[in-house]
Amino acid sequence: MPGSFLTTRLEAMLGWGRSYSLFQYPFITACCGMEYMSAACAHFDMDRFGAGLTRFSPRQADMLLVVGTITHKLAPVLKTVYDQMVEPRWVVAFGACTVSGGIYDNYAVVQGIDRIIPVDVYIPGCPPRPETVLDGLIKLQEKIKREGKDWRWKRTSS
């Protein structure tokens, strides 16, 4: 309306903008990928949440979606992809295998990707339903809004 104005904090504005312009890097290794496709396609449509565009270069992505079983052999690749992403960046563990190793409680599988890289949101399920994926995405957006400009410069992977 003419003559009206809006006040906010810079942190709140940055957080709001970032939360609705997520560029995802899907790191898909196993069967959870089918549910990722369901969540991303037209019926559930992640694009409604500003997270529809995939980037297959880590340097162009700010949300790493880790989808499927991560073996110890694959772990260094995941770590390299994470290290190549610039700040601010966020990580989503998609499905039981990435959260905890899932049904693969054995020597070959990483028992949770948070042993390799920091995780912002955990999405449970084997596989998670698309509604659960969208719920995880909304939780990540809420977290990004709260972070504002105080993102994770200090938080580096080990």
Q: Which residue has the tokens 């990540």?
A: 140
- To the nearest whole angstrom, how small is the minimum distance from the Cβ of residue 63 to ligand SF4? 19
Determine the Cα–Cα distance for residues 112 and 114; give it in Å rounded to an integer.
Answer: 5
Instruction: Work out the number of other CB atoms within 10 angstroms of the CB of residue 98.
Output: 29
Nearest residue (CB) to ligand SF4, 37 versus 151: 37
Nearest residue (CB) to ligand SF4, 61 versus 110: 110
Instruction: Work out the number of other CB atoms within 10 angstroms of the CB of residue 108.
Output: 11
Using CB under 6 A as the criterion, which residues of the chain lie in contact with ligand SF4 when the complex forms?
30-32, 68-69, 95-97, 102-103, 126-127
- To the nearest whole angstrom, how small is the minimum distance from the Cβ of residue 81 to ligand SF4? 18
Nearest residue (CB) to ligand SF4, 14 versus 97: 97
Distances in whole angstroms, Cα of residue 124 to Cα of each of 53, 95, 128: 23, 5, 6
- To the nearest whole angstrom, how small is the minimum distance from the Cβ of residue 109 to ligand SF4? 9
Determine the Cα–Cα distance for residues 136 and 12; give it in Å rounded to an integer.
Answer: 21
Nearest residue (CB) to ligand SF4, 15 versus 136: 136
Cβ distance 20 to 50 under 8 Å? yes
Nearest residue (CB) to ligand SF4, 98 versus 141: 98
Distances in whole angstroms, Cα of residue 41 to Cα of each of 17, 32, 100, 123: 23, 14, 27, 18
- To the nearest whole angstrom, how small is the minimum distance from the Cβ of residue 94 to ligand SF4? 8
- To the nearest whole angstrom, how small is the minimum distance from the Cβ of residue 157 to ligand SF4? 22
